[in-house]
Amino acid sequence: MWGILRQKVVAGGGSPLVRIRPAISALRSYSSASKEMTVRDALNSALDEEMSADPKVFLMGEEVGEYQGAYKITKGLLDKYGPERVLDTPITEAGFTGIGVGAAYYGLKPVVEFMTFNFSMQAIDHIINSAAKSNYMSAGQINVPIVFRGPNGAAAGVGAQHSHCYAAWYSSCPGLKVLAPYSSEDARGLLKAAIRDPDPVVFLENELLYGESFPVSAEVLDSSFCLPIGKAKIEREGKDVTITAFSKMVGLSLKAADILAKEGIRAEVINLRSIRPLDRATINASVRKTNRLVTVEEGFPQHGIGAEICTSVVEESFGYLDAPVERITGADVPMPYAANLERLAVPQVEDIVRAAKRACYRSVPMAAAA
Amino acid sequence: MSSSTFSSMNTIKSSCFTTENHSLNPSSIIPTSSFLVSTHKLRFNTPTANSPPCFIKNRQTHIVAVSDVKQKQLKSTPSVGNLLITKEEGLELYEDMILGRTFEDMCAQMYYRGKMFGFVHLYNGQEAVSTGFIKLLKQQDCVVSTYRDHVHALSKGVPAREVMSELFGKTTGCVRGQGGSMHMFSKEHNLIGGFAFIGEGIPIATGTAFTSKYNREVLKQADCDHVTLAFFGDGTCNNGQFFECLNMAALWKLPIVFVVENNLWAIGMSHERATSDPEIWKKGPAFGMPGVHVDGMDVLKVREVAKEAVARARRGDGPTLIECETYRFRGHSLADPDELRDPSEKAHYAARDPITALKKYMIENKLAGEAELKAIEKKIDELVEEAVEFADASPHPDRSQLLQNVFADPKGFGIGPDGRYRCEDPKFTQGTAHV
């Protein structure tokens, strides 16, 4: 945790995307008096500020109002902005997502919350066909400034139908922007950019990250703060292997990097932040430096984010690769319920460490599983 | 027999705007043959509005039956002025319907000559619904349609040449050739598609109605009373999204009119075979809005019902569900051989052609002469021919158009127009930059 804290302090002082300077100078240059903020508070404050800045922004979703949000992300917003701007909808994803898209066609800026992204499947026709494709189909006449947000991916023991990761699904569709924040800074900056963006944005949060605290600088707390869409962040610099991850897996990758550092392998951890558009430039530049790549994601392996990153690297930096690309993904099964099985179905720190070692030719590859 | 309802156009025989559930009144049913869907029996010839005590005690209805109003009007002005339209209005309606019909016929010709391709769904026979409703709207009111959207586009004001170019796939089309027959959009005329999936347009329409209400109540644009019309078919009324939106529109009292163009057939699936209760107008009162059934082959009846519904929405009284019994003379699309429909059914509805009916009405009531109407037809013929020539002469889209317009802002908000990150601009973080 201290390692992460150190990196964040450095990042807070300058632009968030400048390469992190070596830790030695950090302790000299910056004080550590930065605030801590949970991801939940970061999202809540971002929504609050955007709603007060622009009266066209409104929220809709199940339980966002009186219940204060199913995961309390929208706490307090009903009291502040009233029921006309924070709408509790009936349980009709297709209907209210379509209503949000229709309102966005006409110039309002809806933020549609899905209780989890699994329920977005009931509304996926509107996300893809009405929202993503509209700017193209109407030759630029009608743009859709809508944000679809909610928790994505596995939680704890919620079973197969509540644990699906939709990053690969949405990021395969042109016309959508897909973001996956990790820290509070990511959450705040990316959500604000998403709300102000004139195109449909799918904002994939993670339920298990909501309660985690991260340090935030004063710059992040500013009400105009926003992060660019389509740019990844190098959370930790390294020289021996590149590890790409998004959302919760960034935390695991950083822990894995710590373990690897003790064995002399300096891993570079990239927080993708934006799945579509994917920051191929940063990934390729990193691979050209380290010559080895491990991609980490929580979703299913076939046609996943790792597959896309691997192909991108093979297309652009094949000559630089010293080892095959390693892909760490969730198991290729619907998520089981039993706690020990669930642990086996989701990537763990050990898996990332093993993969990184394999990429560095420090251990023998395991046989492929079932 | 059906011609009796057809010729006496100045009394409204549609059912009235109440929220109570009606029971069928068998006393004035016109005998029907079996192939006609039961909707035909639903024509209520009794003009009384206040039917038996409603079971839904909490529903407040401020709506008066259209037929009641008309009866009062007819009584108070017994002499001249019983007509439903003036001459100008009549000519406008006639011209619009002729434009729709001629355009669609031309589309069929062009399709079979190979100039048009893909899926093309024609609107012949249903013109009364489009003209009857859309000609009452302002420019800022919104129309949301389905794949059968050419005539909705024309009625809303999109120029015929732009629609024709779009169908030919040329860059001068209303969406530069990127949408095609099923995806007509026009921001200027507030025509929102053009949706291929049935039921997809209904939540979108509910959303635009929501925007209208939001503009008035939250953004305080006091004069914003835009109304949205959602057009869809009988098959859509079995779709979940339809019911979801009936619920939310009534719940939030949105200024929307749901118009069902019940042409009795999906592709080859008749409405009766697909629906447990084929009377679609009944589904309105179940959600707390009036459900009305109207003869969709008669533009004047449609117009009267539409006036009431649009006025209701503009006032802020909420949504209405209107079922228009209509018929498409051609197949579902130009690829449909149309073999399943009984020829006598087609003949029955062909006899009730809305254009012939309006022509008859105007001539009988001395609103226009044969020559005037012929002149309009000639004018429209020339317009459509000119549209085809324009479309033919227009260029195909340039190769560079392929990758355009995927995003409104491809770089995303975080990157400013000069390519630098907005968060690095000190003015931005102080909140003083102009975005």
Instruction: Express each pLDDT in B318-372 by its tens digit.
Output: 999 999 999 999 999 888 888 888 999 999 999 999 999 999 999 999 999 999 9
Identify all chain B residues contacting A85, using CB atoms and an 8 Å cutoff: 218
Task: Enumerate residues 291 to 350 of chain A having a beta carbon within 8 A of any beta carbon in chain B.
Answer: none
Would an 8 Å CB–CB cutoff place A130 in contact with chain B? Answer: yes
The least confident of A326-340, B251-265, B273-287, B403-417 is B403-417
| A85, A94, A106 member nearest B211 (Cβ) | A106
Q: Are B20 and B290 in contact (CB under 8 A)?
A: no
Q: Would you state the pLDDT for residue B12? A: 37
Closest CA relative to residue A135, chosen from B164, B209, B198, B404:
B404
CB contact under 8 A, A228 and B217: no
The shortest C-alpha distance from B434 to chain A (Å) reads 12
Answer whether residue B139 is part of any domain. yes
* Position B40 pLDDT exceeds 70: no
Q: In terms of domains, do B374 and B429 share one?
A: no
Q: In terms of domains, do B416 and B313 share one?
A: no
pTM: 0.78
Would an 8 Å CB–CB cutoff place A52 in contact with chain B? Answer: no
CATH number at residue B68: 3.40.50.970
- CA–CA separation, B391 vs B164, rounded Å? 6
Answer whether residue B36 is part of any domain. no
Instruction: List, in sequence order, the alpha helices (H) in chain A.
Output: 2-13, 23-29, 39-53, 77-81, 93-105, 124-125, 134-137, 167-171, 184-196, 218-221, 248-262, 280-290, 305-317, 339-345, 349-359
**Could you tell me how many residues make up chain B?**
435
Q: In terms of domains, do B168 and B241 share one?
A: yes
Closest CA relative to residue A176, chosen from A200, A204, A152:
A200
Residues spanned by the domain of B270? 3-11+59-393
* Buried/exposed B396-411: b ≥16 CB within 10 Å, e otherwise: ebeeeeeebbbbebee
Q: In terms of domains, do B181 and B241 share one?
A: yes
Task: Enumerate residues 226 to 265 of chain A having a beta carbon within 8 A of any beta carbon in chain B.
Answer: 226-231
CB contact under 8 A, A177 and B407: yes
pLDDT class for A118, splitting at 50, 70, 90? very high
Answer whether residue B191 is part of any domain. yes
Q: In terms of domains, do B333 and B427 share one?
A: no
CB contact under 8 A, A99 and B251: no
Q: In terms of domains, do B241 and B380 share one?
A: yes
State whether ipTM is beyond 0.95. no
- CA–CA separation, A242 vs A288, rounded Å? 10
Ranked by mean pLDDT, the top range of A85-89, A154-158, B398-402 is A85-89
* Mean pLDDT to the nearest integer, A174-179: 96
Q: In terms of domains, do B368 and B274 share one?
A: yes
Q: Would you state the pLDDT for residue B385? A: 97
* Mean pLDDT to the nearest integer, A74-102: 94
Would an 8 Å CB–CB cutoff place A370 in contact with chain B? Answer: no
Q: Are A181 and A194 in contact (CB under 8 A)?
A: no
- CA–CA separation, A343 vs A329, rounded Å? 13
Q: In terms of domains, do B315 and B415 share one?
A: no
Q: In terms of domains, do B381 and B432 share one?
A: no
Q: Are B185 and B192 in contact (CB under 8 A)?
A: yes
More confident residue, A58 or B405: A58
Answer whether residue B7 is part of any domain. yes
Identify all chain A residues contacting B413, using CB atoms and an 8 Å cutoff: 193-194, 196-198, 226, 228-229
* Mean pLDDT to the nearest integer, A323-333: 93
Identify all chain B residues contacting A100, using CB atoms and an 8 Å cutoff: 207
Residue tagged active-site, from A113, A126, A162, A297: A162
* Position A288 pLDDT exceeds 80: yes
Query: What are residue B322's DSSP bridge partners?
Result: B259, B292
Answer whether residue B204 is part of any domain. yes
* Mean pLDDT to the nearest integer, B155-169: 95
* Position B24 pLDDT exceeds 60: no
Q: Are A112 and A61 in contact (CB under 8 A)?
A: yes
Give me the number of domains chain B comprises: 2
Q: In terms of domains, do B304 and B188 share one?
A: yes
Q: In terms of domains, do B418 and B372 share one?
A: no
Q: In terms of domains, do B300 and B385 share one?
A: yes
DSSP assignment letter at A172: T
* Position B265 pLDDT exceeds 70: yes
Answer whether residue B144 is part of any domain. yes
Answer whether residue B50 is part of any domain. no
Answer whether residue B95 is part of any domain. yes
Identify all chain A residues contacting B144, using CB atoms and an 8 Å cutoff: 102
- CA–CA separation, B248 vs A2, rounded Å? 50
